[in-house]
Amino acid sequence: MILAPNLCFRTIPTTCTAVKHQKEPHRFNPVTQTKTKACECYDLHKELLPYAKAWSWQKQIVKEKKALLQRNEDCPDTLIILQHNPVYTMGTGSSEKYLNFDLAEAPFDVYRTERGGEVTYHGPGQLVMYPIINLRNHKMDLHWYLRALEEVVIRVLSSTFSIKASRIEGLTGVWVGNQKLAAIGVRVSQWITYHGLALNVTTDLTPFSWIVPCGLQDRQVGSIQGLLQEFQSSTRADTQNPDDCQLIDISYKSLIKEFCEVFQLEIHQKAIPGSEFWREKQ
């Protein structure tokens, strides 16, 4: 059934992946800010958080930001970064035809959400970023925001892993050849964003085979770890790649850095809510 909640680093070699030329019409045009703004960050990148709790948490933060705006008070941006327990999520208009299983016998929980896009998978080894930001502080343009999220991942892959990634005409997300490494699905309410992006770092990709990811029949799903291993195998390079924990940490630090640069924000770490908060979300 579909659920809904109750309201020592080693240098990584250049990855040379043979890719078919893709037309890339989307461009990211940065917005120059006169002053770097603060962004509250809840860092759970080493934690597995159940999807329903994270979803409810986002909506609570959105509600609080809307209240601030109604009182004409300052509305700072917020970023949550975490991993999820295995789960499938669907967008508001997603079709069940992209599920390769009977919902009554789903391998993991399935949630239909208010984000855009088709079905995707979240699980361990995948870093999920939920920016809950006031686009009034940036640019009130949904297409600009999607391109900005893509830009964050493209810069991470290039600057940290020497992986050349790109956008594909008519699609949202970040690609290396025919492999999609990052999925993006967002919701914007009164110019406050929530939901966000998911980057496959060390993710077990098997659960993606039980769906048609993002409704794209002729595309594959990839991960940073998979591309690094592919490079090492194809070149027989005598280089030891980082282990899973190292790769998650490296990717996390790079995501934060590039997110701050793209959105011109300064991160301020926030304490994670205590146990009473989480009991209220169940």
Query: Which residue numbers are catalytic?
Result: 214
CA 124 – CA 48 distance, rounded (Å): 7
CA 94 – CA 77 distance, rounded (Å): 29
Handedness of CA 213, 122, 168, 22 (dihedral sign): negative
CA 214 – CA 208 distance, rounded (Å): 10
CA 50 – CA 67 distance, rounded (Å): 27
Q: Are 32 and 261 in contact (CB under 8 A)?
A: no
Strands 87-90 and 120-122: antiparallel
Q: Are 127 and 198 in contact (CB under 8 A)?
A: yes
Q: Which residues contact 275 (CB under 8 A, 6 or more apart)?
A: none
